[in-house]
Each structure stands twice: as C-alpha cells, then as structure tokens.
Structure 1
Amino acid sequence: MKKVLMALVVLLASLQTKAQILEPVHWSYAAKSINAKEAMIYIKASIDNGWHVYSQNVKDGGPVKTTITFAPSKAYTLIGGTTEPKPITRMEKAFGMDVSFFETSVIFQQKIKLNAGQTTVTGKLEYMTCNDQKCLPPAEIAFSIPVK
C-alpha cells in the first residue's frame, strides 16, 4: 500500500510540474510627478533570457504588437502617445518580415496631465512573446498605477 501511495504522490507531483504556465515576461509599474500638473507613467517589462517582446510599431502581418490602452478618466489626460526606446529590428523567418522587439527589459512611458491632485491610472496591455523555438499566445493584463 505504501508503494502505491508513494507512486501516486510522485505522479501527481510530475503532473503539477507539467501544468505550470510559462510566463517569461514580468510587468511592473510606476509613476513620477514632473510638476504639480504633470506626471510620467512607467510600464516596465522584465524579459527572461532568450525571450523577446514586440514593439508597439510592428506592421500588420507580423506578430501581435504591444498595445497599451489607458482607461478614460476625468482625473488625467494623456499627453502624446506612449513612447518606447529604440528596439532591435531583424528579419524573423517565422513571420517572413522584419520585426522590432525588445530583449532583457523595456520601459514604455506615457506623459499625463493631472486634472486632480492624486489619481490612479488604469488600463490594459496586450503583448506577445517569442523565443527562437516558439511563440506564446498573446496575453492581456490589466494595470492600476497610483499617481501622487
């Protein structure tokens, strides 16, 4: 009976290991006041070794580009678009085209005008990540960033 129980425990442990979800991108958020009326929102992707996340500026027909959508609010107004650093651009055989992406980490920035003293900026981001062997399905996550 002990052998059967032990075999069952080992089997369940191995199944649990197989069921883990692969998450090679880790997101973090921050806000910094520029002055009493403006702030900068920072959305950072920390990317596991060997993986990459695509730019906001990928042409149609390629991978899913990173898209950041801010929820409308009377407490703040977006100033311009969301900016990103210069990406790596190269031909990806899987898509048959040049694509722009980031490795290791990337910080997206959005300047806002504050219409209230304090607020919370909310929204969602959609992104896709790949390595040299495979791509994971696009993911969508919500964010909430306090601005003081």
Structure 2
Amino acid sequence: MKRTLLFLFVTIFMTGIMAAQAPKPITWRMSVKMTDKTNGIVTIKATIENGWHLYGTSLPSDKGPKPTSINLDSSTGVKWVSDLKPSVAPTEKKDAIFDTTLNWWSGEVTFTRKFKLVKAEGAKVNAAITFMGCNDATCLPPATVNLSRVVRVPAAK
C-alpha cells in the first residue's frame, strides 16, 4: 500500500513538472532607445524557433487562428508618432484546414514604433502582446506576454 501511494505521489509530481515545462517556441524582447532629447523608438523582437511560425497582425476575424496583437496603450509619458511597423512582410499562404488565406512570420520579426517624450519623469513603455504560434503538427493556445521598459532620457551634455 505504501509503495502504491509513493508511486502515485511521484507520478502526479512528475506530471506537474512536465506540464509546467510547456514549449516556448516564440520568445519576445523589447528595448527603448532615445534618438534625441525628446524622440525615441521602441523595438519589439519575436524570435521564432525553426519549424514554428507566428501569425500575422491582420487575419480574417471569423476563421482560423488568433492574430498577433501588440498593445502599447498603457505606456506613460510618451505620445506615439508612428504606427507599429514589422521589419518584414509576413508570408501569405492558403490554409486548407481553415479554408482561408493566412499570413505569418518565421525565424524572427522586429516591430518598431516611434514616440515623442511628453513627460520624462516616470516615462515607461508597456507592451501587452497576444499571439499564437503553430508548427506543422500543432498550435499553441493564444498567450499574452507583458513587457515593460523605463524610458531613459540621455543626460544633458
């Protein structure tokens, strides 16, 4: 009886550890750089493991996977002066399963957006990134990653 309970406990424990180590084929990094005293640029980079892809920001709303969304609205002390721009256009392909044309990135993609500093004290860029990744065999459920960076104003010379 003790052996059975011990085996059951170890099995449940190991299952929990294995479940906690879900694959993370898409990772995100963000940086903020001032280009002069009042202007800057935020850079958000997605690194996508080989064989996986990250869905585009513009997909049919009623069919298929969830599009990538990068929300910077909760940022403080900055005013956005450009739209969010990807470094490369996504690949477009007709998907037989969803019977629609989808777009995605593979490898890596970098998004940039320019801002004007309106209040240096406490200025911070906050990003809420919701995304979905797939490979040829499976899709991960939609996930959200929150990133935050303080805006560092260059010292006066």
Provide TM-score, normalisation by structure 2.
0.80
Unaligned runs of 5+ in 1: none
2: distance between equivalents of 1:143 and 1:66?
Answer: 15
**Cα distance, 1:17 vs. partner?**
5.5
**Cα distance, 1:74 vs. partner?**
5.2
**Is the aligned partner of 1:117 residue 2:120?**
yes
Identity %: 27
**Is the aligned partner of 1:99 residue 2:95?**
no
2:155 counterpart residue number? none
Cα distance 1:58–1:6, how it changes in 2: closer, same or farther (>3 A)? same
**Cα distance, 1:62 vs. partner?**
3.0
- Aligned runs of 1:58-97 on 2, under 5 Å? 58-60=59-61, 61-73=63-75, 75-84=77-86, 85-97=88-100
SS at match of 2:28: strand
| Cα deviation digits, residues 116-145 of structure 1 (max 9, x gap) | 235211131110111111111111121102
**Is the aligned partner of 1:15 residue 2:22?**
no
2: distance between equivalents of 1:47 and 1:65?
Answer: 15
The count of corresponding residues between Structure 1 and Structure 2 is 148
Cα distance 1:62–1:8, how it changes in 2: closer, same or farther (>3 A)? closer
Unaligned runs of 5+ in 2: 153-157
**Cα distance, 1:31 vs. partner?**
1.1
Aligned CA RMSD, in angstroms, stands at 2.3
Cα distance 1:15–1:112, how it changes in 2: closer, same or farther (>3 A)? same
1:141 corresponds, among 122, 141, 145, to 145
Cα distance 1:139–1:73, how it changes in 2: closer, same or farther (>3 A)? closer
**Cα distance, 1:16 vs. partner?**
4.5
2: distance between equivalents of 1:107 and 1:115?
Answer: 25
